[in-house]
């Protein structure tokens, strides 16, 4: 009897590990489809790429939107980890804006993520604006509370800022109208929305950014 009592947890752990591996594999395949096709891809395209049936995907995810959301979130978190590991000392606004500047250079460091950004921005001009309503907005609100940027009329400033940032990202990742260095200049000009002086903006945009080899994501 004792042996049987020990077997059930072991089988349960193996099943959980098996499910976790399958979910991770499907998320990886969804990332590749986001990079190749974009959010408009069908569940059938994902299934064909992963060499599974659509039914298998629905065993682990409610629908395509949930899978793509998790797939992009994983790419984003990987990028944020990279940015944190390569961060340089600076005041709150400098460190926050460094992340944006690294996004302009994602093609060099995170090619898969950059391709996913390209398709996502191509299919939805409001992609960045919508994505920034959560954590990104909270970060800027915290920075404003330190006095590093103006906090009055925060909501109005935020609307202007996200539209500026979205436009610069599109110019870099979709239209190829701006190089990362030119994007830095546009980014700096946009800081006037937050009451940042031209001198301060130029100083921030001239900060050296550390780079690491491409991670494949």
Q: What is the span of the domain harbouring residue 58? A: 1-72
Given a contact cutoff of 8 angstroms between Cβ atoms, the answer to whether 209 and 104 are in contact is: no
Q: Tally the domains of the chain.
A: 2
Note whether 54 and 116 are same-domain residues: no
Report the sign of the C-alpha dihedral through residues 93, 78, 108, 175, in that order: negative
Note whether 137 and 65 are same-domain residues: no
In a domain, 144, yes or no: yes
Three-state secondary-structure class, residue 85: helix
Measured from the Cβ of residue 61, the count of other Cβ atoms closer than 10 Å reads: 21
- pLDDT (tens place) for every residue of the chain, 217 residues total: 445 555 556 656 888 888 899 999 999 999 999 999 999 999 999 999 999 999 999 999 999 999 999 999 999 999 999 998 888 888 889 999 999 999 999 999 999 999 999 999 998 877 777 666 677 889 999 999 999 999 999 999 999 999 999 999 999 999 999 999 999 999 999 999 999 999 999 999 999 998 777 767 8
Nearest C-alpha neighbor of 175 from the set 122, 104, 105: 122
Tokens representing 66 are 């949930």
Report the sign of the C-alpha dihedral through residues 88, 92, 96, 98, in that order: negative
Among 49, 72, 95, identify where a domain stops: 72
Nearest C-alpha neighbor of 85 from the set 95, 97, 70, 94: 95
Task: Note the pTM of the prediction, 2 decimals.
Answer: 0.86
Note whether 138 and 211 are same-domain residues: yes
Cα–Cα dist 190/75, whole Å: 26
């Amino acid at each position: 009897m004792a042996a049987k009592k020990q077997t059930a947890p072991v089988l349960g752990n193996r099943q959980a590990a098996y499910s976790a591996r399958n979910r991770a594999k499907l998320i990886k395949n969804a990332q590749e489809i986001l990079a190749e096709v974009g959010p408009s891809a069908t569940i059938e395209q994902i299934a064909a790429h992963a060499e599974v049936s659509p039914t298998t995907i629905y065993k682990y995810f409610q629908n395509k939107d949930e899978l793509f959301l998790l797939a992009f979130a994983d790419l984003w978190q990987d990028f944020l980890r990279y940015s944190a590991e390569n961060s340089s000392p600076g005041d709150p606004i400098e460190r926050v804006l460094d992340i944006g500047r690294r996004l302009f250079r994602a093609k060099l460091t995170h090619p898969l993520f950059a391709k996913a950004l390209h398709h996502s921005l191509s299919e939805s001009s409001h992609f960045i604006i919508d994505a920034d309503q959560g954590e990104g907005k909270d970060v800027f609100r915290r920075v404003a509370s330190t006095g590093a940027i103006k906090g009055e009329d925060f909501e109005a400033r935020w609307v202007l800022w996200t539209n500026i940032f979205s436009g610069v990202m599109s110019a870099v990742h979709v239209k190829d109208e701006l190089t990362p260095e030119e994007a830095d200049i546009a980014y700096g000009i946009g800081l006037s929305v937050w009451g940042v002086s031209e001198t301060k903006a130029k100083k921030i945009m001239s900060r050296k950014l550390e780079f690491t080899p491409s991670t494949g994501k």
